[in-house]
């Protein structure tokens, strides 16, 4: 799936007294109320003896690609579930998620002319931060649903009881998911010659699906032309498969610590539960446990940046998480909401640029745009998602900063969770096929629709900035 670039790499982490359990002496936000700490400790020991999910060298390769995105020579597409589910792990569901990400990547690559770095919110994205730690219904108060790695969504005391065995179940599901992803991405399914087959039937009938067919035809013609010129396409790795990386929010630190290993080559610590780990908007306290943990691992990191973030706070976080100011180490993920993006983002981008910071900016146009309908459904409007993305591109362009990526929640299925877009869903349609256990996701048609929008923004950006300034 991915190769190591170890020849060019030496350990880069500062030599500090950091250890994988250093977070335990810091305030821990968003932690479940584990009823049996001994049980949790037993599970942590079991997990610590398991094989890693990813290798340090793969994480380094991703960081090298992200450094290209930071330099304006690549674009990051980070996409997948809000929360993976223990009930949605069939091969078809994983394949369909990958399929829509591949489709989006093709549209973006073709539109922008720059390589697209593909990172899934997958094979570990099980934990959810909650605004309220408890949920109350008819006078009954239970622990909030925190994702399948902690508890279950049904409103009963048994289902909501945090259960450490779920950490093991999450590990095993991640292993199986990653195994399948590695097979799909290297075993022929992701070969560019199959570009037509990524268009699922229900997408193919939509306007976006037809637009995709036209593009796929053009790619096929180009491949045929290259074959006719005598170029052996079977030999070319880049055409026969894709590099695909995994990521999730590093929320449940006992799980993350248990999968953290010292790399024999560089001596650095890596959290081997995924290639990239990010810190959520609710756990980014400078002195908090999540920042203390991730500051010490050498994986590339993400940091959600919401509307309450102030420039000085962000600067301190960047210095703490990326003390060497290394390009590719820290992906900043703006998630402001369409209303506040312009006002909140511009001062942050300007403050970092003034300090010569190397971090790159990506856009999560989902998490600031969630609302509940009168009928009680959590949803997002496609138009808000597209507008926040367009505003992100404009604001960054005005500050001569490369818009380095897009971070979204999607699924490969024909779900009815977000309004509008390619599938033209209205509020009455939301109940038809709403299967997310947490936030509403774009379906495959809406995802493709967004990719065509972003391809245009990227083209416009290239046109307006001439030689890309950074």
If the CB atoms of residues 256 and 439 are measured against Co ion, the closer one turns out to be 439
11 binds, among Co ion, ligand PEP, none (CB under 5 to 8 A by kind): none
Smallest distance, Å, CB 367 to ligand PEP?
4
Residues lying near ligand PEP in the complex (CB under 6 A) = 82, 129, 249, 280-282, 304, 335, 367
143 binds Co ion (CB under 5 A): no
Tell which phi-psi region holds residue 102, choosing left (phi > 0), alpha (psi between -120 and 50) or beta.
Answer: alpha
If the CB atoms of residues 84 and 243 are measured against Co ion, the closer one turns out to be 84
- Piece in contact with Co ion (CB under 5 A), picked from 58-66, 151-159, 316-324, 432-440: 432-440
If the CB atoms of residues 104 and 363 are measured against ligand PEP, the closer one turns out to be 363
129 binds, among Co ion, ligand PEP, none (CB under 5 to 8 A by kind): ligand PEP
End-to-end Cα distance, the chain? 30
385 binds Co ion (CB under 5 A): no
Which of 58, 249, 268, 439 forms a contact with Co ion (CB under 5 A)?
A: 439
Alpha-carbon dihedral of residues 110, 77, 439, 251, nearest 10 degrees? 170
359 binds, among ligand PEP, Co ion, none (CB under 5 to 8 A by kind): none
- Residue 174 in 3-state DSSP? helix
Instruction: Indicate the burial class of 113 (C-beta count within 10 angstroms; 0-12, 13-18, 19 or more).
Output: exposed
Task: Tell me how far CA of residue 379 lies from CA of 110, 306, 363, 411, 426, in angstroms.
Answer: 30, 19, 19, 14, 11
**Using CA atoms, how far apart are residues 454 and 449, in angstroms rounded to an integer?**
9
Q: Which residue is nearest to ligand PEP (CB)?
A: 280
If the CB atoms of residues 115 and 129 are measured against ligand PEP, the closer one turns out to be 129
The answer to whether 365 and 338 have CB atoms below 8 angstroms apart is: yes
Number of residues engaging Co ion in binding (CB under 5 A): 2
If the CB atoms of residues 129 and 311 are measured against ligand PEP, the closer one turns out to be 129
Residue ranges of alpha helices (H) inside 145-280 are 157-160, 165-186, 201-204, 207-228, 237-240, 253-258
CA 362 to chain centre: 11
Instruction: Indicate the burial class of 313 (C-beta count within 10 angstroms; 0-12, 13-18, 19 or more).
Output: middle
298 binds, among Co ion, ligand PEP, none (CB under 5 to 8 A by kind): none
If the CB atoms of residues 215 and 430 are measured against Co ion, the closer one turns out to be 430
**Spatial CA neighbour of 86 closest among 199, 180, 169, 181:** 169
- Piece in contact with Co ion (CB under 5 A), picked from 25-33, 285-293, 434-442, 448-456: 434-442
If the CB atoms of residues 280 and 422 are measured against ligand PEP, the closer one turns out to be 280
| Structure-block tokens of residue 309 | 């973030």
| Structure-block tokens of residue 19 | 């250890």
Smallest distance, Å, CB 439 to Co ion?
4
If the CB atoms of residues 88 and 439 are measured against Co ion, the closer one turns out to be 439
Q: Residue 225, CB half-sphere, CA atoms under 13 Å: how many?
A: 6
- Residue 341 in 3-state DSSP? helix
280 binds, among ligand PEP, Co ion, none (CB under 5 to 8 A by kind): ligand PEP
317 binds Co ion (CB under 5 A): no
Smallest distance, Å, CB 304 to ligand PEP?
4
Q: What is residue 441's DSSP assignment?
A: -
If the CB atoms of residues 68 and 439 are measured against ligand PEP, the closer one turns out to be 439
Specify the residue for token string 């087959």: 197
Q: Which residues lie closer than 8 Å to 212 by C-beta, 6 or more apart?
A: 103, 107, 199, 203, 204, 448
Name which of residues 82 to 111 contact Co ion (CB under 5 A): 82
- Contact code string over 41-80 relative to Co ion, x by CB under 5 A: ----------------------------------------
Smallest distance, Å, CB 441 to Co ion?
8
380 binds, among ligand PEP, Co ion, none (CB under 5 to 8 A by kind): none
What does the binding site for Co ion look like in residue numbers (CB under 5 A)?
82, 439
């Amino acid at each position: 799936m991915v190769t190591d670039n170890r020849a060019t790499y030496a350990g880069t982490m500062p030599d500090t007294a950091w250890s994988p359990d250093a977070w335990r002496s810091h305030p821990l936000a968003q932690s479940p109320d584990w009823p049996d700490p001994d049980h949790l400790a037993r599970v942590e020991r079991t997990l610590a003896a398991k094989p890693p999910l990813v290798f340090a060298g793969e994480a380094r390769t991703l960081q090298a690609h992200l450094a290209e995105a930071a330099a304006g020579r690549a674009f990051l597409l980070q996409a997948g579930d809000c929360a993976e589910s223990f009930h949605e792990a069939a091969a078809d569901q994983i394949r369909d998620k990958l399929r829509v990400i591949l489709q989006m990547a093709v549209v973006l690559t073709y539109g922008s002319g720059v390589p697209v770095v593909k990172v899934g919110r997958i094979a570990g994205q099980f934990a959810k931060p909650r605004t309220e730690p408890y949920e109350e219904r008819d006078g009954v108060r239970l622990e909030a649903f925190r994702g399948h790695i902690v508890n279950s969504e049904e409103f009963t005391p048994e289902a909501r009881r945090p259960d450490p065995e779920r950490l093991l179940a999450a590990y095993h599901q991640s292993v199986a998911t990653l195994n399948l992803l590695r097979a799909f991405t290297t075993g022929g399914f992701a070969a560019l010659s199959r570009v037509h087959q990524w268009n699922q039937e229900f997408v193919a009938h939509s306007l976006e699906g037809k637009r995709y067919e036209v593009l796929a035809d053009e790619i096929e013609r180009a491949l045929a032309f290259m074959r006719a010129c005598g170029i052996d396409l079977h030999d070319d790795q880049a055409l026969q498969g894709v590099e695909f990386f995994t990521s999730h929010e590093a929320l449940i630190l006992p799980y993350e610590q248990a999968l953290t290993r010292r790399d024999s080559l560089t001596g650095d610590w890596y959290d081997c539960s995924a290639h990239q780990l990010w810190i959520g908007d609710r756990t980014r306290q400078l002195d908090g446990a999540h920042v203390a943990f991730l500051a010490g691992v050498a994986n590339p990191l993400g940091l959600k940046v919401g509307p309450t973030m102030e420039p000085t706070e962000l600067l301190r976080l960047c210095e703490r998480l990326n003390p060497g100011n290394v390009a590719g180490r820290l992906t900043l993920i703006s998630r402001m909401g369409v209303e506040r993006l312009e006002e909140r983002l511009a001062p942050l981008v300007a403050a970092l640029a003034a300090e010569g910071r190397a971090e790159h900016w990506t856009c999560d146009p989902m998490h600031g745009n969630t609302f509940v309908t009168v009928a009680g459904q959590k949803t997002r409007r496609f138009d808000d998602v597209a507008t926040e993305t367009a505003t992100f591109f404009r604001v960054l362009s005005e500050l001569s900063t490369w818009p380095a990526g897009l971070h979204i929640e999607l699924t490969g299925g024909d779900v009815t969770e977000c309004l509008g877009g390619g599938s033209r869903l209205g509020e009455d349609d939301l109940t038809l096929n709403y299967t997310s256990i947490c936030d509403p996701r774009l379906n495959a048609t809406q995802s493709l629709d967004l990719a065509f929008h972003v391809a245009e923004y990227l083209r416009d950006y290239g046109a307006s900035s001439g030689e890309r300034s950074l």
